Structure 1
Amino acid sequence: MKKYSFTLLVLIIFFNTSCNNHNNEVVVYTSVDQVFSEPILKDFEKETGIKVKAVYDTEETKSTGVLNRLISEKNNTQCDLFWSGDPIRSNVLKNKDILMAYEPELAKDIKSVYKDPQGYWIGFSARARVLIYNKTLLAEKDVPKSIFDLTNQKYNSKVTIANPLFGTTTFHIAALFSIFGDSISKAFLTDLKTNNIIIATSNGDVKKRVMQGEAYCGITDTDDAFEAMKEDNNIGIVFLDQDKIGSLIIPNTVSLLKNSPNTENAKILMDYLLSKNTEAKLAISCAQMPLHKGVETPDEVPSLDNIKAMNIDYKKTAQKLQEIQNYLKEWVEN
């Protein structure tokens, strides 16, 4: 019943605003995997009649391609709505005065930590950074329990992470810098290099390397982790540092662009993405954890209530991400 009510509301808003839009369309840039984001956008098209023009990032340049495009288009805005796989890029755009504040009614029951205090971005459907491991290569007693365990000599040449210049790995590293400071964080990364960490091209490549036994374990996101567990019974998952700093929680975020050509249609899409119905779909398709209460999910999807989350300041982490880009580039290349 709630689904039909939402659809009716969307249709009413659409018919009331369509006369103010020259084109019955909305332009979306997204860093979320196309295999997961495209079906949601197609459903939106079917339910509202609003044509979606989507620009997707590639796996290897995740989160940086569309981000740089949005920055370059600041004075000639082509995009109406940015659907990001994490809050950090949204904060970068906010700091560059590219976003427009808007907090719809649906955002009010989402915890404040998962939305910008001024309404420049709103979070929904979250992933977490986790460790996956190959059970045929690592006994349960030998599985790392903390991210800092990965520097232990017994894991030399056996651990993989995605390239930290892109995607959620950049976010993860920036979060560590924002919590522990530059000295401890740089020492950690140096120790990883000394321990011959395997740098994969993407989170999906981390999943593949662990499944194929090229690495004993690796850091990735829960969507890739649960997909690996579905494909291979020998893959296990660990939420790291549950007795210490906790695991990094990564909500999707949605933002409106200033001076965009189809603002009203973008607001309709934003409401759609923030709905419980969309969170339920993402829980099924890619094991994402809803931020709304009362969303039905598959049994294997964990509740955020049962996970100790890393306590971070997304704004501070966004600033740190930009500060450490040159350092990370040197770390990868040397």
Structure 2
Amino acid sequence: MHKKILAGLAIAGTLVAAPFAAASSLTLYSGRGEAMVQPIIDQFEKQSGIKVNVRYGDTAQLAVLVQEEGARSPADLYWGQDAGAMGALSNQDMLQELPAEIYEGLPAVYTSQKGNWVALSGRSRVIAYSTSRVSEDEIPSSIFDLTQERYKGRVAIPPTNGGFQAFVTGMRVQHGDDVTLQWLKDMKANDPVYFRNNTTAVAGIADGDVDFALVNNYYLPRFVAADSEFPVKQTYFEAGDIGNLINVAGIAVLKSSKNQEAAQEFVKFMLSPAAQQYFTSVVNEYPVVSGIIQNPVLGDLDDLLEIAPEIDLDQLADLEGTLKLLRDAELL
């Protein structure tokens, strides 16, 4: 399916030849899964003639590896699954400042205020729910409602999942550690159902194991694509609620790269209409540039930006502080 979509974009003239920097290869550390991003990387190679050697792995582990390797790192580019990992490397002064033109026209929520990494796609937190066991008046208006008695034993959370942990970090930024720790303790006291990741949590709703799940927006569309009658829907909380956090997959050029120009061209390609259309049509994430055909399964991006909390994505870097709170709440 990936190849068919990319071929269609190429035939339509979306992919056009462009001059690239003289470099035979680039090395990319990718915290994004191979199935998600390799097809669009292949397209960059085809267009540019530049070979991209990809090391796939866990976002946080690759960020630690980059820090350990320092100036000796063979990586030219780092592609992180979430803003926290990007911020961690930025705080270590390991990322190259990007040209201002890369940021032109991007919503503030998709940019690093330090100017040394940029989002390639966005995703939002949502609450998924059973269409057969949840009535309309039971859908919570705030994530803080989920500690109420009426939700006891009905809510799925994946405490070891990076997306959930990034959300908890966002709550810390918006509400502080004390409020966040209390929410975590109250959630634990309300007997949540534990899942290892977002996919199993959404499946758990359909299987009748749980009624609600706190997940990222792009998991449910995958189930719906396979089964139009899949008995789960998802929605947002009230405007400004931290439960609507927008997180991003970001990319950066390492300061230690000896292929700065070619690496920047890779970033620019991933912000091109063809790549952005791929991210929304295939990966089910939000594009970060305008003029992209909307994925009908996703909500309108402008509507999402209106209800999303205002969070400086660079502040999502303190994963260790979040893990401590999760341990203090006995969720890890």
Shorter-chain TM-score range? 0.7 to 0.9
1:327 deviates by 2.7
Q: After the TM superposition, which of the residue ranges 113-122 and 278-287 deviates more from structure 2? A: 113-122
Superposition pairs for residues 189-204 of structure 1, below 5 Å? 189-204=184-199
Contact preservation (8 Å) 1:107, 1:274: no
In 1, Cα distance between equivalents of 2:331 and 2:144: 22
Contact preservation (8 Å) 1:229, 1:236: no
Contact preservation (8 Å) 2:143, 2:242: no
Residue 68 (1) aligns with residue 75 (2): no
For structure 1, list consecutive stretches of 5 or more residues without a partner in the other structure: 19-23
Corresponding residue of 2:38: 38
Corresponding residue of 2:202: 207
Q: After the TM superposition, which of the residue ranges 77-86 and 228-237 deviates more from structure 2? A: 228-237
| SS in structure 2 at match of 1:324 | helix
Corresponding residue of 1:21: none
Corresponding residue of 1:7: 16
TM-score for the superposition, normalised by structure 2: 0.88
Residue 50 (1) aligns with residue 45 (2): no
1:215 deviates by 1.4
Residue 86 (1) aligns with residue 82 (2): yes
Corresponding residue of 2:5: none
Residues 1:157 and 1:254: Cα distance change in structure 2 (over 3 Å) = same
Contact preservation (8 Å) 2:280, 2:286: yes
Contact preservation (8 Å) 2:86, 2:314: no
| SS in structure 2 at match of 1:27 | strand
1:33 deviates by 2.9
AA at the equivalent of 1:195? N
In 1, Cα distance between equivalents of 2:130 and 2:14: 45
In 2, Cα distance between equivalents of 1:250 and 1:244: 14
1:192 deviates by 0.5
Corresponding residue of 2:174: 179
1:314 deviates by 1.9
AA at the equivalent of 2:281? I
| SS in structure 2 at match of 1:7 | coil
In 1, Cα distance between equivalents of 2:214 and 2:242: 16
Residue in structure 2 matching 1:260, options 257, 260, 268:
257
1:39 deviates by 1.3
Contact preservation (8 Å) 2:159, 2:331: no
Corresponding residue of 2:272: 275
CA displacement 1:188-219 (0-9 Å, x = unmatched): 00001101112221222222222222111101
Corresponding residue of 1:111: 107
Corresponding residue of 2:325: 327
Corresponding residue of 1:222: 217
TM-score for the superposition, normalised by structure 1: 0.87
In 1, Cα distance between equivalents of 2:180 and 2:201: 22
1:180 deviates by 0.8
| SS in structure 2 at match of 1:65 | helix
1:96 deviates by 0.9
Corresponding residue of 2:311: 312
Corresponding residue of 2:290: 293
Q: After the TM superposition, which of the residue ranges 219-228 and 240-249 deviates more from structure 2? A: 240-249
AA at the equivalent of 2:324? N
Corresponding residue of 2:4: none
1:162 deviates by 1.6
Contact preservation (8 Å) 1:162, 1:205: no
CA displacement 1:208-242 (0-9 Å, x = unmatched): 22222211110111111222333343111011233
Contact preservation (8 Å) 1:78, 1:261: no
The runs of at least 4 aligned residues of structure 1 exceeding 6 Å deviation read: none
Contact preservation (8 Å) 1:28, 1:80: yes
Q: After the TM superposition, which of the residue ranges 263-272 and 240-249 deviates more from structure 2? A: 240-249
In 2, Cα distance between equivalents of 1:296 and 1:314: 26
Residues 1:151 and 1:201: Cα distance change in structure 2 (over 3 Å) = same
